[in-house]
């Protein structure tokens, strides 16, 4: 882990350790995607396009692979015409709405700048993947 928190306050130090431990419980495999992602929360077993790539980008300080997976899951289920699903849940994907708070292109570029994975950048910037898997 490349993040840390240090405090003389035992309660704060314990809260930090607990938060990191609890967050790791949200790393799960969902639907038929073969790699674990950071899901939205303990009771919500899925990811949304509007926030999962950004959440993954933030989590890259702990695990860059999870950050990649939080992007690639949407590319994995991308339609041939380039349309991305708006959500992936434990049992299905959906295309009912798009609420783009932070564009996936922006988080993909920032993640590429952190890790230097050219293949990922190419995957993120190709309009239609025609069956490419993530």
Per residue in 90-112, pLDDT tens? 889 998 876 677 889 999 999 99
In a domain, 108, yes or no: yes
The pLDDT of residue 41 is: 82
The pLDDT of residue 101 is: 76
The pLDDT of residue 127 is: 67
In a domain, 64, yes or no: yes
Half-sphere exposure of 46 (CA within 13 A, CB side): 16
pLDDT one-digit tens code per residue, 35-76: 999 998 877 889 999 999 999 999 999 999 999 999 999 999
Domain extent for 56: 27-125
In a domain, 106, yes or no: yes
Alpha-carbon span 120 to 133, nearest angstrom: 12
The pLDDT of residue 128 is: 63
Higher pLDDT, 5 or 36: 36
In a domain, 7, yes or no: no
What is the total count of domains within the chain? 1
Alpha-carbon span 70 to 66, nearest angstrom: 6
Tell me the percentage of the chain whose pLDDT exceeds 90: 66
- For the chain, give the mean pLDDT: 89
């Amino acid at each position: 882990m490349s993040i840390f928190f240090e405090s003389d306050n035992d309660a704060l130090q314990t809260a930090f350790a607990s938060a990191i431990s609890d967050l790791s419980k949200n790393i799960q495999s969902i639907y038929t995607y073969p790699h674990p992602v950071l899901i939205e929360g303990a009771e919500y077993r899925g990811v949304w396009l509007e926030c999962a790539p950004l959440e993954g980008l933030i989590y890259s300080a702990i695990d860059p692979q999870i950050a990649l997976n939080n992007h690639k899951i949407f590319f994995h289920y991308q339609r041939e015409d380039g349309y991305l699903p708006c959500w992936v849940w434990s049992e299905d994907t959906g295309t009912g709405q798009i609420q783009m708070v932070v564009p996936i292109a922006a988080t993909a570029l920032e993640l590429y700048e952190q890790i230097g994975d050219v293949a990922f950048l190419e995957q993120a910037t190709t309009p239609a993947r025609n069956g490419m898997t993530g």
